Structures are given as structure tokens and as C-alpha cells.
């Protein structure tokens, strides 16, 4: 039998946490033959709710779930974890300045970085979900210098999956037959959902999405804004943010990172830029990646037209500004 993998979920008493922990316990994230031990962290005001989630995990009698740690102590939460899903953060409240929200999250991610660095298992893989996801991940990286930078990522898979969903709805095809969309940049409304390399499996072979949709006006405008603003549309409809799809996409992110992407398929992940595609090095930026043996690699050599170039640069500029703002909170 396999040794259990320890998976940390921060903010586990929140909305995404409530959708995410049962998925992990059912094997959605790491596979149906991989036992897990869940580590759940939240803050003291949520301690009772967190304990309630723990009670439900016990009650659900998941065969793969070999243990549950539910705590408000960051050291206990981080000890020995192999995977860390960082969902906890400080939400923007009405009337708050951007800088104040950033400042709260910078201090959270700074201290959780230190705890992970000191207490997580060697080679722990980290995905940051909490917003501003890219910049929180960057702060985590800066304050956990002994964790390899390739192990620190942020979630843009939800945006990637949303793009797949929009194409599948538009063409009335199975979402599993659509692949290789790309989310470039920030997990924010400046992200660039790019379909220039995306394809659909048809009875006549793989066809480019552009050839099948035959409506560049839609692809270059409405498709992009729909994906960029989908989060806001869900909040408007549900009066709550997207939790089910965020949780599911976080599972996809870790699943593909650990178990690999299928041959000929890439996914989008926020990773530490090495300057690929002339994106400034030193930002956490969403790129197309393939994964093998537990490591991601940025897909190289894709053509970037002028329209795309502008959009790649715009979202990079926003991330550089966020980075500057985050650093200004450190002093």
C-alpha cells in the first residue's frame, strides 16, 4: 500500500475549503489509490467551524482519508506536508484601499512562507489560490528561499477551465474534446485567455478552434471578457464567489502537476517567470505548461501575434505594479 500524502489546505473553514477537502479525501486530487492525511488551517475566529468540517470528514468515512489535523497553529498545520493549497487570505472589504488588502496578505504569506520553509516536507509543492494569487505566491517564494522556486505556483487553472467551457458551449462539443487554450498573466481581469493554439477533436481529426468558431469578432472580444469577468458573474448570480469550480480546478492543478499532463496537451499554471515569451523574469505569471515526473515546463516556441503581444504585456505590467505595491508593504 502507498504511504499517505499529507495535504495542507489553509482557509479550510471557508467556502472553497468546504468544497475542496472532500474532493481531496475522495482521491480527486491525487488519484483513487493514493491515501491522504488532511491538514486544515484556519484562524481562531473560524476554529469552531473548522472543527465542524473535521466532524463531517469523519462522518463521511472516506476510505482514502487516513487522518485529519484541524488547527489554528501554523506550525502544526505545515509540519510534514507534501502538498500545500493556500486558500486562506484576507478578503477585500468595502471601502478598503488596495494597499491595505495587499498589506494584510503580504504579512499572512510572509509568515506562512517561513512556516512552510521550516516545517514542510522536502520538495513540498505549493499552489496559492487566495487573491491576489500571483503576488501572494511571489511573496511566499521570497520568504521561503530554501523551497525551490519551481515548487511555488498559483492557480489559473480555473480561468483555463472556464475558457475550455466557453469554447465547448459555443461549438456544442464535449469539453473534454477541447484543449490547449492558454491563460497568460495575472489571475485578474487583465488575464489574457488565448485560443490561437487551441484545438477540438472532431470525427475528421483535430481542428483549430479559430477554424471551427469562424467568428474572430467573438473570439477577440466577447469570449475574452466573458472568461476575464466570469468570477464577477458567478458572484452576481450566487451572491457568493465560485467555490465548487475553484476547488475542482485546484485539484486539476495539483493532479496534473504530480501525475503529468497527457501527451500533446498543456495546461495553464502561474509559475515563476524565467523570461520566456519576453515576460519579465521574477514575476509569478500564468504560462502554458506541460508536466512530467512532478515537474512543469513552460511550452516554448508558440507564435505570439501583435494582438496577443499587447495583452501579454498589459497583464505583465499589472503584475509588476502589484509586485511594487507588495514590496512597499514590507518596509
Q: Which residue is nearest to ligand NAI (CB)?
A: 14
Under the binding rule (CB under 6 A), the answer on residue 15 touching ligand NAI is yes
Measured distance CA(1)–CA(287) in Å, rounded: 36
Give, as one character, the DSSP assignment of residue 187.
S
Is-contact 101 71, C-beta < 8 A?
no
Residue closest to 113 by CA, chosen among 83, 163, 147: 147
Under the binding rule (CB under 6 A), the answer on residue 10 touching ligand NAI is yes
Residue closest to 114 by CA, chosen among 145, 85, 136, 88: 145
Applying CB under 6 A, among 13, 83, 139, 195 the residue interacting with ligand NAI is: 13
For residue 58, the minimal CB distance to ligand NAI (Å) is: 20
- Core vs surface per residue 66-83: b (16+ CB within 10 A) or e: eebbbbbebeebbbebbb
Residue closest to 121 by CA, chosen among 29, 8, 30, 253: 8
Under the binding rule (CB under 6 A), the answer on residue 16 touching ligand NAI is yes
**Active-site annotation holder among 39, 160, 187, 253:** 187
For residue 46, the minimal CB distance to ligand NAI (Å) is: 4
State the binding string over 212-241 for ligand NAI (x if CB under 6 A, else -). -----------------------------x
Under the binding rule (CB under 6 A), the answer on residue 69 touching ligand NAI is no
Alpha-helix residue ranges (DSSP H) falling in the chain: 15-25, 47-59, 74-78, 98-119, 133-142, 157-171, 209-213, 216-217, 223-228, 230-238, 244-259, 306-328
Under the binding rule (CB under 6 A), the answer on residue 40 touching ligand NAI is no
Under the binding rule (CB under 6 A), the answer on residue 89 touching ligand NAI is yes
Is-contact 286 185, C-beta < 8 A?
yes
Under the binding rule (CB under 6 A), the answer on residue 14 touching ligand NAI is yes
Asked if 187 is an active-site residue, the reply is yes
For residue 111, the minimal CB distance to ligand NAI (Å) is: 8
Under the binding rule (CB under 6 A), the answer on residue 41 touching ligand NAI is yes
Under the binding rule (CB under 6 A), the answer on residue 113 touching ligand NAI is no
- Lookup: cell for 287: 504560462
Q: Which residues bind ligand NAI (CB under 6 A)?
A: 10-11, 13-17, 41-43, 46, 87-91, 108, 129-131, 133, 155, 158, 187, 241-243, 246
Catalytic positions, written as ranges: 187
Amino acid at each position: 500500500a502507498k504511504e499517505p500524502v499529507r495535504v495542507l489546505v489553509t482557509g479550510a473553514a471557508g467556502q472553497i475549503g468546504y468544497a475542496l477537502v472532500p474532493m481531496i479525501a475522495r482521491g480527486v486530487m491525487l488519484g483513487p489509490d493514493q491515501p491522504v492525511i488532511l491538514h486544515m488551517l484556519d484562524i481562531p475566529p473560524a476554529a469552531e467551524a473548522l472543527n465542524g468540517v473535521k466532524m463531517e470528514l469523519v462522518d463521511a468515512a472516506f476510505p482514502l482519508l487516513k487522518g485529519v489535523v484541524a488547527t489554528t497553529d501554523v506550525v502544526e498545520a505545515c509540519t510534514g506536508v507534501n502538498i500545500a493549497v493556500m486558500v486562506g487570505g484576507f478578503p477585500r472589504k468595502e471601502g478598503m484601499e488596495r494597499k491595505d488588502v495587499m498589506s494584510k496578505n503580504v504579512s499572512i504569506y510572509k509568515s506562512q512562507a517561513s512556516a512552510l520553509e521550516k516545517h514542510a516536507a522536502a520538495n513540498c509543492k505549493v499552489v496559492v489560490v487566495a487573491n491576489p494569487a500571483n503576488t501572494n505566491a511571489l511573496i511566499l517564494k521570497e520568504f521561503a528561499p530554501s523551497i525551490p522556486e519551481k515548487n511555488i505556483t498559483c492557480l489559473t487553472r480555473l480561468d483555463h477551465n472556464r475558457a475550455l467551457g466557453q469554447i465547448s458551449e459555443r461549438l456544442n462539443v464535449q469539453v473534454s474534446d477541447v484543449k490547449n487554450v492558454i491563460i497568460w498573466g495575472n489571475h485578474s481581469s487583465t488575464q489574457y485567455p488565448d485560443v490561437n493554439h487551441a484545438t477540438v477533436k472532431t470525427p475528421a481529426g483535430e481542428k483549430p478552434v479559430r477554424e471551427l468558431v469562424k467568428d474572430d469578432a467573438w473570439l477577440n472580444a466577447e469570449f475574452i471578457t466573458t472568461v476575464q469577468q466570469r468570477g464577477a458573474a458567478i458572484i452576481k448570480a450566487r451572491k457568493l464567489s465560485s467555490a465548487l469550480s475553484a476547488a475542482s480546478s485546484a485539484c486539476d492543478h495539483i493532479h496534473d502537476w504530480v501525475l503529468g499532463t497527457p501527451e500533446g496537451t498543456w495546461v495553464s499554471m502561474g509559475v515563476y517567470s524565467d523570461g520566456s515569451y519576453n515576460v519579465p523574469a521574477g514575476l509569478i505569471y500564468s504560462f502554458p505548461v506541460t508536466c512530467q515526473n512532478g515537474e512543469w515546463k513552460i511550452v516554448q516556441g508558440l507564435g505570439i501575434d501583435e494582438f496577443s503581444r499587447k495583452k501579454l504585456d498589459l497583464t505583465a505590467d499589472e503584475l509588476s505594479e502589484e509586485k511594487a505595491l507588495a514590496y512597499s508593504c514590507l518596509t
